[in-house]
Amino acid sequence: MRKDYHTHTFRCQHAIGDVIDYAASATKQGFQVIGSSDHTPFPDGRWNTVRMGLNELDNYIAAIEEAKTAYPELIILKGLECEYSKESHNFFQEELLGKYQFDYLISGPHHFLYNGKWTGAHSYIKSKEELYAYTKQLIESMASGLFAFVAHPDLFGSSYELWDENAISCSKQILEAAVEYQIPLEINANGFRKPLIETPQGKRPPYPLYPFWELAAEYDLHVVVNSDAHHPENIGDIKEAVDLVKRYHLQLADLSYLEEKYLKP
Ligand SMILES: [Zn+2]
Ligand SMILES: [Zn+2]
């Protein structure tokens, strides 16, 4: 079964196409399951340049329903990728999972609290302190029980350049938490599509981080490979991530419980 649980739509303002375009691409490539998991809106409108507004949520859900009707053979899950914090817990639980009946939520650690300020993980993890704050926020999301898996847990690599004792220590904390909370970690193929970054230890993708996943192999945890497609053609463009799984003999997660209710008897 070919599955991809991480795709976006134009609503996030940095992706192209609607659910139906991703469904078309997935169908063409022989996928059986895709999850639409655009960046969540927030009731307070935070970070609104890279996500839909709350007033677009109904339209997003309608677009998922429309794609389901157009591609009845494809299972299309209704998801969102969410930045966790305690103050958003109720919104995610009561509104998104409760009232709106989302099939699943992804923890997407793009922002973390540092010295009382929200800080961007893509660009602003330069110090040890920032790296530890990122790690703390990420582990809180895992402990919340709200999420089906964690997107790109090694996203810190896009701004924290070195694989050093701090990176190792934080990675171990993340991996231990994945075991403790039994939550799969995503190997995010979108990182491989980004320009390589120059570091004192050589050129590498911003994420996934090979040493992170090499370390992950020492833990009894599960991984999921997704395209994190921001363009319909990104679906299925996951070769390097699949190779990484094989290289370190990582265990793939079974997320089929998410689509169980849609399986035809
Ligand atoms: Zn995005
Ligand atoms: Zn994403």
Q: Return the ligand number nearest the Cα of 152.
A: 2
Give the Å distance between the CA of 14 and the centre of ligand 1. Answer: 6
Give the Å distance between the CA of 111 and the centre of ligand 2. Answer: 13
Number of domains in the chain: 1
pLDDT given at position 28:
97
pLDDT given at position 265:
65
Domain that holds residue 131: 3-262
Cβ neighbours of residue 56 closer than 8 Å, sequence gap 6 or more: 11, 41
**Which tokens sit at 209?**
């981080």
pLDDT given at position 150:
98
Q: Return the ligand number nearest the Cα of 149.
A: 2
Give the Å distance between the CA of 172 and the centre of ligand 2. Answer: 23
Neighbours of ion ligand 2 (CB under 5 A): 81, 228
CATH of the domain at 257: 3.20.20.140
**Which tokens sit at 22?**
């991703």
Prediction pTM value: 0.97
Q: Return the ligand number nearest the Cα of 37.
A: 2
pLDDT given at position 199:
97
Report the alpha-carbon distance of residue 175 to residue 220 in Å, rounded. Answer: 9
Average pLDDT per 10 consecutive residues for the chain, totaling 265 residues = 96 98 98 98 95 97 98 98 97 98 97 94 95 98 98 98 98 98 98 97 98 98 98 96 98 97 80
